[in-house]
A and B are shown apart, each in its own frame.
Chain A
C-alpha cells in the first residue's frame, strides 16, 4: 500500500506569494491531519478532517491559512499571503479511525519563505 503522499517535498518562495501544499491520504483512512513542525514550537496540529469534513481548525494560526478536503483522496493547505515566520516542515497524516488508531505521516513539505 502506498503511504501518505505529500507534494511538493520542498518549496522556497518569496514572502507575499501564495503557497499550496498537497496531500493524498492512505486509501480507506477517514481521518486526515495537517501539522506544522518547527524547532521552537515542535509538532503542532493545525486542522483535522473526518470524512472530508473539517472537525477542528483551532490550530490554524490565522486567516492566511486555509485547508480543504474536496474528496477522500485529496487535501490542500494554503497560505496566502505567505510570511517568513511560516517557514517550517508541514506534515500531513491520516488514520483509519479515531483516537485509538495510530497516524501515518507523509514525508512532509519543507517550506522556506524568504
Chain B
C-alpha cells in the first residue's frame, strides 16, 4: 500500500460546482498535512496547510480525520482557474521524509 493515496480522477465539473477530494495516508505518526496545487507543466505550489480542527481559505476548506487517516479538500463555487492537479502531502514527526500523493486532476468546464 502506498503511503499517501489519492483518487487520480480526472474530476470534470461545471463552473460553480462544489467538488471534494480525499487523500488517505498510511502512517498514523504523520503530523503535518498540506495541499499543493500543480498547474500543467508547472511546479507544485502550496495551496493550504491542513489543521487538526479544519480550516478554510476563501472557497477552499481542508479537513483532517485522524481516526480514518484521511484529509480532504473541498472547493466551492468552482472556477475555470481551479483546473489543476491537487497533491496532498503527509509529513511524519520532526523533519522526515516528505511524501506527496500522486495527485488528483480537476477540470472545471464552462
Q: Which residues of A contact B (CB under 8 A)?
A: 31, 33, 35, 42-43, 45, 48, 50, 55-56, 58-59, 91, 97-100, 102-108
Contact = CB atoms under 8 A, between A and B. Distances in A.
B11 interface: no
B94 A99 contact: yes
A91 B42 CA distance: 10
The 4 tightest CB contacts between A and B, nearest first, are: A98-B95, A105-B43, A102-B46, A99-B91
Contacts of A98: 94-95
Contact of B34 (A48, A59, A102): A102
A69 to B, nearest CB: 16
Interface residues of B, number: 23
Contacts of A103: 46, 98
Of listed A58, A97, A103, residue having the most chain B CB within 10 A: A103
A81 B88 CA distance: 33
Given A31-B95, A91-B43, A98-B95, A42 B102 contact: yes
Interface of B: 31-32, 34, 42-46, 49, 87, 91-103
B85 to A, nearest CB: 10
A6 to B, nearest CB: 9
Nearest to A102: B46
Contacts of A33: 98
Contacts of B95: 31, 50, 55, 97-99
Contacts of B102: 42
B100 A43 contact: yes
Contacts of B44: 43, 91, 105
